[in-house]
Structure 1
């Protein structure tokens, strides 16, 4: 009855939200006929026609989950090359990123909306033998129709904060049956287990596997063999200070602080590239010169010298991050929650961030405790951190090593997850 009520209310909500979603997707440049896949139409998907092939379906929400999925599939495909994979992405940005560099034996689609008629159409088209959900992507209809067809459902990289755990535990009478439908759950840490059990996940299905996201054993593949060194050389010769996954207001704050570092080359990679015009206008109004990655002309390299580079292209952040001397991680100072610091840490680049890192607990606290993260409070302290880390190689190296040692606790999480899911398939 609860699922029927969910379906009854979801359809009008989806219809009402669709104009806003279409407008947002258009701004990101993601409008295409492939979007019909969200409604269960798969004419351009090869696996839909290969009836003898039963793929493993991996479901990811956006860019962050897509990177986890690619990391997982890359290792899985290496160890089990006979497997075929279907990677479903919820957003156009994540979809474009995954399509630029799909893992071996993988076809990328738009993830189906969790409407009954869409999900049943999805299962009829692909007949997956396993459904793998990433982090928080737990959907009632997806789980219901998978279990109805005796298809196991696994949840990878599961994490539940104390606050979310308390809230969901109160809803256990309503949601408990859905969570009980999960065949295997890989928790990121021991602290997550009691909270996950409290919302209805069966103890016998719950395992502490570590975080695939934080596993330093296998870097997320970049979109190509792109090397940004020439682009960065055209900006000047000083230290490269980089702001990653920034949100509104953080670009200007970073520019003001980083510009005080002598001869610094400034690079910004916003969380949402469709904000490029807004960022360029804001920085230009403050007196900074800006060049967009998408329009950068290397024929006359001097034209970029002294300008701030705003990277408004998809899939190149890993390549840029490896070139930085110091990075500032966004959504930690003027916005709350935090973005992923692990790409920089894995590249041995020291990380600076604001105090609001709740989405990455307990990792953020662990990084602070071992002096692997420099926490700043405002523009002045950001300037001081960037200045110190760019001038003191010893200080920067020590912080980077401390941070990398914290990630070591998650080393092997990808392999442990792959082995557990492969065993689940054998048992089924």
Structure 2
């Protein structure tokens, strides 16, 4: 396929802007505490060697959510391809940190090279990927075309573009077709996005509905020492968790907990705001609700009569999920789109959610069908859902069994996806 004029214009612009973009990106990473050696990965200078002469499979993601969503897929592909190496690239220090904490075997992380010839040439020459898998909306024209020109098989998974991005690409159909032609397979999150990709001139015979990778994610990490410490402090008290809450939701959660305490006076709430920097704001809301609380970031532990434990730290969500059988998942009582319910059921808990879950609609539809998720709209509904969970043992067992069944289904889906990618990207190892 011939490159359209707009692609040539893009290439010319990147030549002019690359030095300034490189300076700005390296400076930004350094200010965020990234060592100089690693910050220069954005210029294509690798900080680690390519291991061996075997297959190397490159995954490219944008930031935290996308990066973490592929770790389980990498681990599964690694089981099928025991001699393969994996590379994951992303652009933010937070994603690098979290990936490092959960990185699968035989996998390294690097910061993504800038979308310019020099950085990309150095990157591709060093890593020599045997296949490349791009995640969600990472459609950098030069990165895609230069990788393609090396005859590297490429796939796009979890494809998802916002309405604004789709409209922008629709205004440049020749460029969209040129960029999307590099992929041997485009897997979307749902049928609507599959049609959107075809409308953007992706080759229709290479587009298919896949599954939401975030609904196949690896279990959140836990710290046994922290769990033992919190359990000892709680002394057998029952608790529920309200996780990833946003402004306007904590008030509803706290009102529900006040109702619950009237009938279940020993019940504790672990409240986990989505953004820990809102800790002081959320603490003020707890105090205004007349509820006693302890704060995780102050190294406090819940006392015998403490109503709320404010878990205002990063990277500990897995601990809080492991402490309970029922989790209210925020971002859903307000039109935010919801958060990942699969992480909850993987931890062995059932999910309660508000109605606004567009970002995980397919996942929630499947969970609802199995009975692994319940939905509420206000404080009264939330209080009743939590109370029913603890007061009705048969319903509780059914919800937890449904959650376990859903996790098994997702595990099977992950295995199918891994084998499909290995086949289409021609990665199967030769038999001996």
Q: CA RMSD in A?
A: 3.8
Q: Secondary structure at the match of 2:155?
A: strand
Do 1:61 and 1:137's aligned partners in 2 also have CA atoms closer than 8 Å? yes
CA pair 253-31 structure 1, distance change in 2 beyond 3 A: farther
Give the distance between the partners of 1:38 and 1:289, measured in 2 at CA.
48
| 1:2 alignment counterpart | 6
CA pair 201-91 structure 1, distance change in 2 beyond 3 A: same
Do 2:57 and 2:129's aligned partners in 1 also have CA atoms closer than 8 Å? yes
Task: Confirm or deny that 1:253 pairs with 2:252.
Answer: yes
TM-score (norm 1): 0.81
Asked which structure has the greater CA Rg, the reply is 2
CA shift, 1:359, in A, is: 0.8
Give the distance between the partners of 1:258 and 1:137, measured in 2 at CA.
41
CA shift, 1:309, in A, is: 3.2
| 1:130 alignment counterpart | 131
Q: Secondary structure at the match of 1:243?
A: strand
Mapping of residues 215-254 of structure 1, within 5 Å: 215=216, 219-220=218-219, 222=221, 228-235=227-234, 237-254=236-253
Bigger shift: 82-91 or 164-173?
164-173
CA pair 160-89 structure 1, distance change in 2 beyond 3 A: closer
Give the distance between the partners of 1:52 and 1:403, measured in 2 at CA.
42
| 2:328 alignment counterpart | 328
CA shift, 1:226, in A, is: 5.7
Q: Secondary structure at the match of 2:39?
A: helix
| 2:270 alignment counterpart | 267
Bigger shift: 100-109 or 159-168?
159-168
CA shift, 1:95, in A, is: 1.8
TM-score (norm 2): 0.80
Do 2:337 and 2:356's aligned partners in 1 also have CA atoms closer than 8 Å? yes
Q: Which runs of 5+ in 1 are unaligned?
A: none
Task: Confirm or deny that 1:120 pairs with 2:124.
Answer: no
Do 1:101 and 1:224's aligned partners in 2 also have CA atoms closer than 8 Å? no
CA shift, 1:86, in A, is: 1.3
CA shift, 1:182, in A, is: 1.2
| 2:195 alignment counterpart | 194
Q: Alpha-carbon deviations, 1:273-294, whole Å to 9, x = none? A: 4444443455445554444434
Q: Which runs of 5+ in 2 are unaligned?
A: none
CA shift, 1:404, in A, is: 5.1
Give the distance between the partners of 1:405 and 1:114, measured in 2 at CA.
43
Q: Alpha-carbon deviations, 1:96-154, whole Å to 9, x = none? A: 11111311011122333445544334323422222211233333222122112222221
Task: Confirm or deny that 1:296 pairs with 2:279.
Answer: no
Do 1:183 and 1:205's aligned partners in 2 also have CA atoms closer than 8 Å? yes
Do 2:44 and 2:118's aligned partners in 1 also have CA atoms closer than 8 Å? no
| 1:185 alignment counterpart | 186
Give the distance between the partners of 1:233 and 1:242, measured in 2 at CA.
17
Do 2:271 and 2:308's aligned partners in 1 also have CA atoms closer than 8 Å? no
Do 1:37 and 1:109's aligned partners in 2 also have CA atoms closer than 8 Å? no
CA pair 331-115 structure 1, distance change in 2 beyond 3 A: farther
Give the distance between the partners of 1:223 and 1:401, measured in 2 at CA.
22
CA pair 313-31 structure 1, distance change in 2 beyond 3 A: same
Give the distance between the partners of 1:375 and 1:208, measured in 2 at CA.
26
CA pair 100-410 structure 1, distance change in 2 beyond 3 A: closer
Do 2:226 and 2:319's aligned partners in 1 also have CA atoms closer than 8 Å? yes
| 1:203 alignment counterpart | 204
CA pair 78-367 structure 1, distance change in 2 beyond 3 A: closer
Do 2:341 and 2:351's aligned partners in 1 also have CA atoms closer than 8 Å? yes
Do 2:59 and 2:89's aligned partners in 1 also have CA atoms closer than 8 Å? yes
| 1:340 alignment counterpart | 340
CA shift, 1:38, in A, is: 5.8
Do 1:260 and 1:383's aligned partners in 2 also have CA atoms closer than 8 Å? yes
CA shift, 1:224, in A, is: 5.8
CA pair 371-221 structure 1, distance change in 2 beyond 3 A: closer
| 2:385 alignment counterpart | 385
* Equivalences, count: 415
Do 1:165 and 1:198's aligned partners in 2 also have CA atoms closer than 8 Å? no
